[in-house]
Amino acid sequence: MIIFVGNLPNIIDPPYETTADPVGTIVNESIKINQIYQCRFLVDLIGPAKDFCTMARSVNQSRFHGNRFRNSVLILVAVSVIFVIIVGLRTYKVYKEDLPSFEALHNIEPSLTTKIYDRNGILLKEFYTQNRALTPFAEMPPHLVDMLLASEDQEFYDHWGINMRRVAIVAGTNLLKLKLAAGASTITQQLARMLFLTRERTFERKIKEDLTAIKLERTYSKEEILEMYLNQYYFSRGAYGVAAAARTFFSKDVSELNLNDAAILIGVLKAPNINSPFINPDKALRARNRVLYSYYNWGKISRELYDSLSAEPLEINPPEEEVGIAPYFTETIRQYLRDNYGEDVLYAGGLKVYTSLDVDLQAAAERAVARKVDSLRARIARKYDLNNPVYTMNLPDTVDEYGDSIRVYRKVQGALISIDNKNGDVLAMVGGRDFDESEWNRATQSTLQPGSSFKPFIYTACIDNGFRTTDIIDDNPIVLEIPGTKDWRPHNFDYKFRGPITLREGIQYSRNLVAIKLILKIHPEQAIFYARRMGITTDLAPVPSLAIGVGEVKLIELVSAYTVFPNKGIHIPPRMVHKIVDRYGRVLEDNSAIKREEVLSAQTAYIMVDLMRSVVDAGTGAGARWRGFTRPAGGKTGTTDNFCDNWFVGYTPQITTGCWIGFDKKISLGRNQDGAKNGVPVWTEYMIAAHDSLPVETFEEPDGIVHLDVCLESGELATDRCIKVRNEVFTEDNQPTADCHLHPSAGMDISGRESDYLPEDTGSERTHF
């Protein structure tokens, strides 16, 4: 055993130098051996310690590296989050100006169809840039909504506008295929793009789409987003929204859509101009079956039902093409809405416009006008060949590539207006023979010479200023000097003269010379004054020829003015719009209050009615009677110079109607083609239909009217010697008091007595008109 002497550090000191001394040599060897053992011991002692230190150092290093990795990950995540936030905020700031405001999001108003209805709620016309009607989410079939979700966004209820999982999957797929093989837009993103953005495929637009989708999700519920989506999207064939699509494709309401119907519509959504059954039935069928498979794959239907539905043929049932009802009337309404509410509201505001028109009466009016106009057109074609310079004209040949013209006949046209006397409602309006042929409305836009149909204004002015129905006027020729031109020699329609006749006979037989002499007595300005009060607004020259209708009027104004007579002197302006309601049910316009203005005394109006009844009963309008119209009625025919314009305007206690027949240019309809031949038949046919369900009424006589027997030769109270006697109507303040000076009485005064009390020997001598 070796015992260490001294300190441990000495053990490892360098060995002593050896000497030549033998004893020293031994001692040195012993020291060397001892040093070797010491070194081995140190090695044995230090080795484990060294291993322990190495192990400890390794553990510490592992812990250090683990902590450093974790910290690095945390730092990276934090930096990434901060980077994303900074980029997001910066992106939002950059694009904020281009994003819709929350106010815009809260006030999404899709373009809606404006609907025009008749007085009974029948749809007349729709005006729109996008054919759309809104359907509430609650009224949408569940299978329609589920098919949309199955095809477009199965995780719709689980995301907040952007489906990040789907984005990652699609991004990987597109990266592997090195092309945009699929999209990841959610329904909300699609709605954002459709409402506020474009379809351009740029990174900038995609960012805006994502940000807008997030704002939409913050603003609306999931059901509201689905409702907007299905009400907004285009389905082809001019149909916007599922309601219009259901009508256009299947003639159904949304609630009536079956599984295949819904699959067809959802299939169209992805590519309406490609998958539409109206454009490409084969692609529409494949698109429908893809939707059905997605619906099945989502677990909504069984395999058997899917196989059955996908095997069915593609079936659609579009509605028949509807010919527009009352096109001239609805065009007038369109112009009114445009002028008063603007084009944006007209075509996109979803207005409901309730009008005065009666569809049944409109159809009767169109038939009556068409029958007469077609008859006159055929007559012109029979009488004149295509080389006639008056009745034919050149039109460019749109088929001939060389642009040659073709010769065609000029078109006879017609117009009609019918008004409800009690409220001014326009019941029927015909502005021409065919709206497709000519959109010009001759009932409201044309200013036309009225001919003799203007004469009632002359007679009204006379009666209201002291003239009596029995006043005698000479129906004889006159010559009027007109400065700067040749003398005017007016004549009657038949170029004959009847001599002295009463005012009643003058209007009954439409004698021009009587009307001219009357206007000279009261002055043209007076006649214009009454025409204005009764509703005529067009320019009227104060000249004698105004008495025979050389001025110009609009048919609608002339008919409205005539309503004053059966309305006891009250003028009610024409009314076409009853009420206008916006998309929210708010009433924008309510015309239920009727505007009334007294323009004539009730007595004057009644006397005029009585005078004009003579026209219908036994005058130029008598054709109405032998054509079967038997109700109490008054009216006046009109024919302009050279038979260019034919008129008849007449009324019953309930309805006033006027019609015009002629060319758009001053061209004769032919010799003796007058208001009695062409105006009266149209008026009669229509009025028979219009009164078919109305009770028979008589013209109510106002207070202050008296009836007296007068001699038609003198215009004075009839005596027992008068031969031509008529019971005439007067006002209490303006009744004749003198007996007939031409036939002095034998002593018996019969004025004011009923004919039942007349002596029998004079009854046979009386001629009643």
CA distance 431 to 441: 4
Among 132-141, 165-174, 349-358, the minimum mean pLDDT is found in 165-174
CA distance 649 to 634: 9
Residue 475: strand, helix, or coil: strand
Q: Which residues contact 277 (CB under 8 A, 6 or more apart)?
A: 249, 264, 268, 284, 285, 314, 316
Band the pLDDT of 108: cuts 50, 70, 90.
low
Helix axis angle for 281-297 and 259-269, nearest 10°, is: 110
Mean local confidence (pLDDT), 64-90: 71
Closest by CA position to 279, among listed 267, 291, 263, 261: 267
Residue 64: strand, helix, or coil: helix
pLDDT at 100 over 70: no
CA angle at residue 396 from 392 to 402, to 5 degrees? 135
* pLDDT at res. 2: 41
* pLDDT at res. 194: 75
pLDDT at 387 over 50: yes
* pLDDT at res. 208: 72
pLDDT at 766 over 50: no
* pLDDT at res. 159: 86
pLDDT at 401 over 70: no
pLDDT at 38 over 90: no
Query: 229-249 as b/e, with b when 16 or more CB fall inside 10 Å?
Result: bbbbbbbbbebbbbbbbbbbb
Among 77-86, 130-139, 443-452, 587-596, the minimum mean pLDDT is found in 77-86
Band the pLDDT of 160: cuts 50, 70, 90.
confident
Mean local confidence (pLDDT), 553-559: 98
pLDDT at 425 over 70: yes
C-alpha to C-alpha distances, 405 to 380, 393, 395, 408, 663, nearest whole angstrom? 21, 10, 5, 10, 22
Helix axis angle for 281-297 and 303-311, nearest 10°, is: 170
pLDDT at 49 over 80: no
Band the pLDDT of 47: cuts 50, 70, 90.
low
Q: Dump pLDDT digits (tens) for 669-726.
A: 999 999 999 999 999 999 999 999 999 999 999 999 999 999 988 889 999 999 999 9
Which structure tokens are listed for 549? 């209708």
Mean local confidence (pLDDT), 586-598: 96
**Position 424: which residue type?**
G
Band the pLDDT of 18: cuts 50, 70, 90.
very low
On average, the pLDDT of the chain sits at 85
Mean local confidence (pLDDT), 58-80: 69
Closest by CA position to 491, among listed 523, 515, 467: 515
Band the pLDDT of 173: cuts 50, 70, 90.
low
Task: For 185-297, list the strands marked E by DSSP.
Answer: 239-240
Q: Which residues contact 198 (CB under 8 A, 6 or more apart)?
A: 205
Spatial contact of 160 and 303, defined as CB atoms under 8 Å apart: no
Using CA atoms of 657, 445, 386, 400 in order, give the dihedral in degrees to the nearest 10: -130
Mean local confidence (pLDDT), 72-76: 78
Mean local confidence (pLDDT), 236-249: 90
* pLDDT at res. 132: 83
CA distance 248 to 130: 13
Percent of the chain clearing pLDDT 90 (strictly above): 64
* pLDDT at res. 746: 73
Burial class (CB in 10 A: 0-12, 13-18, 19+), 459: buried
Strands 352-355 and 114-117 come out as parallel
pLDDT at 416 over 80: yes
Task: For 665-716, list the strands marked E by DSSP.
Answer: 705-711
Strands 405-409 and 655-662 come out as unpaired
Band the pLDDT of 110: cuts 50, 70, 90.
confident
pLDDT at 9 over 50: no
Torsion sign, CA atoms 9, 15, 20, 26: positive
Q: Which residues contact 682 (CB under 8 A, 6 or more apart)?
A: 368, 369, 371, 372, 414, 416, 648, 659, 661
Burial class (CB in 10 A: 0-12, 13-18, 19+), 692: exposed
Spatial contact of 710 and 470, defined as CB atoms under 8 Å apart: yes
Among 34-48, 50-64, 86-100, 499-513, the minimum mean pLDDT is found in 34-48
The DSSP call for residue 641 is: G
CA angle at residue 242 from 237 to 245, to 5 degrees? 25
Band the pLDDT of 20: cuts 50, 70, 90.
very low
The H or E element spanning position 378 is: helix 359-383
pLDDT at 428 over 70: yes
The total number of residues written for the chain in this structure: 769
CA distance 123 to 130: 18
Spatial contact of 147 and 263, defined as CB atoms under 8 Å apart: yes
* pLDDT at res. 82: 81
DSSP 73-129: HHHHHHHHHHHHHHHHHHHHHHHGGGSPPHHHHHT----B-EEEE-TTS-EEEEE-S
Band the pLDDT of 96: cuts 50, 70, 90.
low
Residue 193: strand, helix, or coil: helix
Mean local confidence (pLDDT), 504-518: 97
* pLDDT at res. 405: 80
**Position 202: which residue type?**
T
Q: Dump pLDDT digits (tens) for 455-482.
A: 999 999 999 999 999 999 999 999 998 8
Band the pLDDT of 204: cuts 50, 70, 90.
low
* pLDDT at res. 165: 77
The DSSP call for residue 717 is: B
Burial class (CB in 10 A: 0-12, 13-18, 19+), 127: buried
Q: Which residues contact 555 (CB under 8 A, 6 or more apart)?
A: 415, 416, 417, 442, 443, 444, 446, 448, 658, 659, 660
CA distance 724 to 722: 6
Percent of the chain clearing pLDDT 70 (strictly above): 80
Higher pLDDT, 55 or 660: 660
Mean local confidence (pLDDT), 399-409: 72
CA distance 219 to 196: 15
CA angle at residue 147 from 143 to 152, to 5 degrees? 155
